Amino acid sequence: MQSTHAPESHGPGHALERLIFFSDAVFAIAITLLIIEIHVPEIHPPLTDGAFLQALAQLWVKFLSFFVSFFVIGAFWAGHHRAFDCARHWSPRLVLPNLCMLSAVAAIPFFTAFSSEYYGHRVPTALYCFWMMLIALANIWVQRIATTQPVVGERIAKAHCRVIRQRGVATLLGTITAFGMALIFPWAAQATLATIPLWRLLLQRLSPPRG
C-alpha cells in the first residue's frame, strides 16, 4: 500500500535555514562560554564581608572583558542576522565565508580570557583586537555574498543592502582603531571598540544610502 503523504521537501530554502540555525547555535555557545572563564574566587578564613568584597573586586577586569566580548559577539550576531534577513536563495558560496566567521567567533572566549588575565599588556590586548579585525573581515565577506545576487531576495531594496555592507565596513574600521590603540595604549584598546557607531555615522555622512 502506497503512502498518501507527500515527500518532505529539502530544497535550497531548507539548506539556507540549516546554515542560519547552525550559525545561531555557534554564536549562542560562544557567548555562553565567556562566563566559564570567570571562576569563583577562593576565599580563606576568616570569611568576613570585607574578604568577600575584596575577592570580588579583584575580578573587575574579567567582568569588564566579559561584557565587552558579550556585546561584541552580540553585535556580530546582529549583523549576521541583518544580512541573512535579506537572503532568499541558497548558494554554496555562503559556506566557506560563513564557516570562517564562525570559527573566529568560537575562539573569542580564549582571546577574552587571555587579554583579561594580562590586562593592559600589549601583546594579549593587540592579539584580542587583531582577532576582532579578522572577524570583521569575515563578516564583510559573508555580508557581501548574502546581500548580492543570486542570494539576495528580489524585493530587497539595494539601499538597504548598502546600509548593511556599510555597517560591516564601520565595524572593521572600529576594530582597526582598537588594534592601533592596543599598540600605543593597551589599557584603552577595548574601550576603543566603542568607536564603531561613530565610524558608522561618518560613513553615512560621507556616503548616504540612495535607493
Q: Cα(150)–Cα(158) distance, rounded to whole angstroms?
A: 13
Q: What is the pLDDT of residues 149-163, one digit of tens each?
A: 999 999 999 999 999
CA 131, chain centre distance (Å) = 11
CB 129, CB 175: distance < 8 Å:
yes
Q: What is the pLDDT of residues 34-65, one digit of tens each?
A: 999 888 888 888 889 999 999 999 999 999 99
Quote the percentage of the chain above a pLDDT of 70: 92
Q: What is the pLDDT of residues 85-141, one digit of tens each?
A: 999 999 999 999 999 999 999 999 999 999 999 999 999 999 999 999 999 999 999
Q: Cα(108)–Cα(72) distance, rounded to whole angstroms?
A: 10
pTM comes to 0.88
Mean per-residue pLDDT over the chain, rounded: 91
